[in-house]
Amino acid sequence: MIRWEPPDGEPGWARSRVGSATRPAAMCSGPGHVVVYGNPAFLAEFGEGAIGLPARESMLGLRADAFGLLDAVLREGRPLARWVTRDDEEWRLTAVPRRDPGTDEIHGVAFHLRARSDLPIDSGG
C-alpha cells in the first residue's frame, strides 16, 4: 500500500499533523470486530497486517474501554463516542453501527480516532 504524503505545494496546514489524513479510521465486521478496511492513517498507525485481524489483537496500545465502546455500538445499534487512551495519549473514538441495507441488520462497526491535539481544520473561508 502506498502511504499518502501531501505534495510539496500544499498549504502549511495540510502538511501539519492535523486533519483527516492523520485520523485513523476503519471498518470492522462481527462481534470480534475483525478489521475489514483501514484508511491510510489507520494503516500507518497499526500496520497493514491489522486488516483481517480482530481489532483487540491488532490495535495495540488501546485500553479495554475502547473495545467496550465498539461492543456497545454493535449491541445497541447507535453511534457512540468517548475519549480513550492510547500509549498515554488521549484520542476521541467515534463509532457507528454498520447496517445491511437490505435487512437493516447490524453486521459491524465503523470508527475513527482523533488525537486531542488534532484540532478541526479552519480554512478561514
Contact 112, 25 (CB under 8 A): yes
Task: Flag whether the pTM goes above 0.75.
Answer: yes
Three cell numbers, residue 107:
453486521
**Of 34, 37, 15, 17, which Cα lies nearest the Cα of 26?**
37
CATH number of 22-115: 3.30.450.20
Domain parsing of the chain, residue ranges: 22-115
* pLDDT tens per residue across span 21-68: 789 999 999 999 999 999 999 999 999 999 999 999 999 889 999 999
* pLDDT tens per residue across span 69-119: 999 999 999 999 999 998 888 999 999 999 999 999 999 999 999 998 887
Three cell numbers, residue 6:
501531501
